[in-house]
Amino acid sequence: MKKVSTILFSLSLVFAILTSADAQNSDIKMYVTTSGTLELDQGWLTAMTNVGTRIDIPVPMYIIDHPRGLIVFDTGMSVDVVPDDGEEYWGPVSQAFTPSMTRDQGIDEQLQRIGKSVDDVKYVIHSHFHLDHAGNISMFPNATHIVQKAELKNAWWPEQFQRAAYVLDDYKNTRNYNFMEITGDLDLFGDGSIELIDTKGHTQGHQSLIVRLQNEGTVILAADAAYMPENLQGTIPGIVWNVEAAMEAIERMKMIRDRENGEIWLGHSMEQFQTRRLLPEYYD
């Protein structure tokens, strides 16, 4: 009898956990927006393919309204690129990667469009610290910043061949911010709704984000682990720290996608981005 009671208790506990997770998932809203566009040579995204072809790509940012705290995934390009398309703030790199951004595309003003402010944000999750992903980190002094330990270290002292994509002015005043430095994967709330996964390869500490939504299902926000559809089909991303690790990261995302019948949302595909519902609309 005692054994039966124990089994029933265990089943009820599992049911309660699953029910709680489902309830939380039903309350999650994910907003998609952009901090503008970048014009660049496609060869930077698809190595040895369409080299010399200049294209415009989106610079996505995501706002996730979760019952346990408001989350921002990537803060886009710094608003300091607005006055002169990055010529002064980014310097020579702005010739290779030319930003086009208006001030109202800053993450602070995008939050205001859904009735939120930077002070409402509990967690800022950084895919990595490149100039088009962590440009406005300084807007969030009161948030907890979640980043791979290897990425944080490399951002402050990047290897020479990676140095151009890191803009120290983006984060030079954040040394005293609250950083949650992680190594590997993290189930943020312990319920599977928000999961950070190690996708190093583009940089030493790149991470992608899985958001499991009630209606949309599993969405893998690849960031720069996969820029374009070609990368999912075997074309090496053009900017990588480690080619083998980068391709392993793509295969890992594809495996999760297939296992959960989900979707991979690419980091810089204009074709895919133009199909998205943009803020103030949302996914749930």
CB within 8 A of 211, min separation 6: which ones? 28, 30, 62, 64, 193, 194, 218, 219, 221
Rounded CA separation 192/274 (Å):
28
- Residue located via tokens 């402010």: 117
Question: Per-residue pLDDT averaged across 219-234, rounded?
Answer: 98
Which structural domain, as residue segments, surrounds residue 157? 2-273
In a domain, 157, yes or no: yes
Q: What is the pLDDT of residues 138-168, one digit of tens each?
A: 999 999 999 999 999 999 999 998 999 999 9
Contact of 218 with 30, CB cutoff 8 Å:
no
264's tokens? 């991979």
Q: What is the pLDDT of residue 18?
A: 46
Question: Per-residue pLDDT averaged across 80-90, rounded?
Answer: 98
In a domain, 281, yes or no: no
In a domain, 152, yes or no: yes
Q: What is the CATH number of the domain that holds 230?
A: 3.60.15.10
105's tokens? 């595309």
Question: Per-residue pLDDT averaged across 270-284, rounded?
Answer: 98
pTM for the predicted model, two decimal places: 0.91
In a domain, 279, yes or no: no
Q: What is the pLDDT of residues 22-39, one digit of tens each?
A: 545 779 999 999 999 999
In a domain, 188, yes or no: yes
Count of domains in the chain? 1
Q: What is the pLDDT of residue 249?
A: 98
In a domain, 135, yes or no: yes
Q: What is the pLDDT of residue 9?
A: 44
In a domain, 126, yes or no: yes
In a domain, 247, yes or no: yes
Question: Per-residue pLDDT averaged across 86-97, rounded?
Answer: 97
